[in-house]
Amino acid sequence: MRPSEITQLLAGADDPGLFSAADALTRQNFGNEVFLRGVIEFSNHCEKNCRYCGLRRGNRRLSRYRLDVPDILACVGLARDLQLGTVVVQSGDDFAYTREDIGRIVTGAREIADVAVTLSLGDRPEADFAYWHALGANRYLLKVETFDEALYARCRPGLLLSDRLSRIEALKKAGYEVGSGLITDLPGMTPEILAKDLIRLSDLDLDMLAVGPFVPNPDTPYGDEASGSILTAFRAMAILRLLNPLANIPSTSALNALRDGAREQGLTVGANVVMPSLTPETVSGDYAIYPGKNAFRADAAARVAAVRRAIERVGLVPSTARGNSKRKHHG
Ligand code: SAM
Ligand code: SF4
């Protein structure tokens, strides 16, 4: 697809055609199955200061928490009991957890449950990636957020797009299934930037691709900016599906933060993955990336059950499989 075609689709030139083509391709490659990933948000401390994110170090209004390794592994036990095929171990960029601490989480998780282990720990040293992979970590999520250098530098002060991209390459080399993604409607993002971002993201030939709409958080410098458009996020997801037929594409919780039910609707426009939170309810409300994140304060089992029901409501089937990458570089 040419950038001008993508820009037109993002502007709504052919929504029925776009959405039905993306859905048909998803059904062709994944049937009616939706993969579930249980997310363990183990720390909301962050040394970075991304202007869009509530976990940024400059946010003094957030009550900070850290889970210890046994508590994190208890969440993995829950994932096993709930028959989830993947756990995603996520945090702010919190270097209080050493490479060995993360190693203990990976080893422990592999002992407890037959699950795929995804890490989402931010900008860790490249040397650590191989260490964790050798211990059994399977996947790593590192969103670029945008490929526009100036916008990236404005949104993530002091950080360089080139560093994020070289980490993505290092993760591929280390043997991970790699995921990345974008925030649509980031303040300053134009339709032309988003069109280029979708092309560059697809050019990376990754296993997992996430696009979520920007959700303003009042405790950040972007608190007064407009919410991202759900429709634009849906169009971006559908375009990504057309460009990446075999990639795992989640329907993000940011969609649901903007409109209850939008996340399951995303499963009908190209997405094939949902990522319910397994974070203990004592702290899950403090993983406040944006308002509405983890707003549903039931215990994790009830949350997963609700997600399974939501998947069924749109006529799809919650899978208990690991949902490994189908892209050909993984055989
Ligand atoms: N610290 C790690 C990192 O940045 O890669 C992982 C955790 S971070 C909270 C996970 C993702 O949250 C980011 O990649 C970003 O896309 C998303 N995020 C943060 N603030 C957001 C906002 N206001 N709206 C939508 N997504 C947001
Ligand atoms: Fe930290 Fe990630 Fe939030 Fe940036 S997006 S402030 S790195 S948690």
Q: For position 296, what pLDDT does the model report?
A: 65
Every domain of the chain and the residues it spans: 3-321
Nearest alpha-carbon partner for 42 in 69, 18, 21: 69
Pocket test for ligand 2, best of 45, 52, 53, 293 (most atoms within 8 A of CB): 53
Residue 127 alpha carbon to ligand 1 centre in Å:
23
Sign of CA pseudo-dihedral 67, 174, 143, 259 = negative
* Phi, psi dihedral angles at 306 (to 5 degrees): -65, -40
Residue nearest to atom 5 of ligand 2 (CA): 53
Is 50 flagged in the annotation as binding?
yes
In this structure, are residues 105 and 69 in contact, taking their beta carbons and an 8 Å threshold? yes
Q: For position 77, what pLDDT does the model report?
A: 96
Q: How far is CA 300 from CA 251, 278, 311, 323, in A?
A: 19, 5, 17, 21
- State the ligand closest to the CA atom of 256: 1
Residue 17 alpha carbon to ligand 2 centre in Å:
36
Residue 25 alpha carbon to ligand 1 centre in Å:
28
Regions in the chain scoring below 70 on pLDDT: 295-298, 328-331
Is 156 flagged in the annotation as binding?
yes
List, chain by chain if needed, residues with CB within 6 Å of any ligand 1 atom: 52-53, 55, 90, 92-93, 120, 122, 142-143, 145, 183, 212, 214-215, 217, 254, 289-290
Could you tell me which residues come within 8 angstroms of residue 102 by beta carbon, excluding any fewer than 6 positions away? 89, 119, 121, 128, 132
List, chain by chain if needed, residues with CB within 6 Å of any ligand 2 atom: 46, 48, 50, 53, 55-56, 92-93, 122
User: What CATH number labels 3-321?
Assistant: 3.20.20.70
pLDDT digits (tens, 9 = 90+) for 138-155: 999 999 999 999 999 999
- State the ligand closest to the CA atom of 255: 1
Is 180 flagged in the annotation as binding?
no
- State the ligand closest to the CA atom of 220: 1
Q: What is the ipTM of this complex?
A: 0.99
Q: Tokens 């958080």, residue?
A: 217
Dig out the tokens for 249 from the structure.
């594409």
In this structure, are residues 294 and 56 in contact, taking their beta carbons and an 8 Å threshold? no
pLDDT digits (tens, 9 = 90+) for 161-189: 999 999 999 999 999 999 999 999 999 99
In this structure, are residues 186 and 1 in contact, taking their beta carbons and an 8 Å threshold? no
Residue 53 alpha carbon to ligand 1 centre in Å:
6
Q: Across 131-253, where does the E strand assignment appear? A: 139-141, 177-184, 208-213
Nearest-angstrom CA–CA distance, 251 and 256: 9
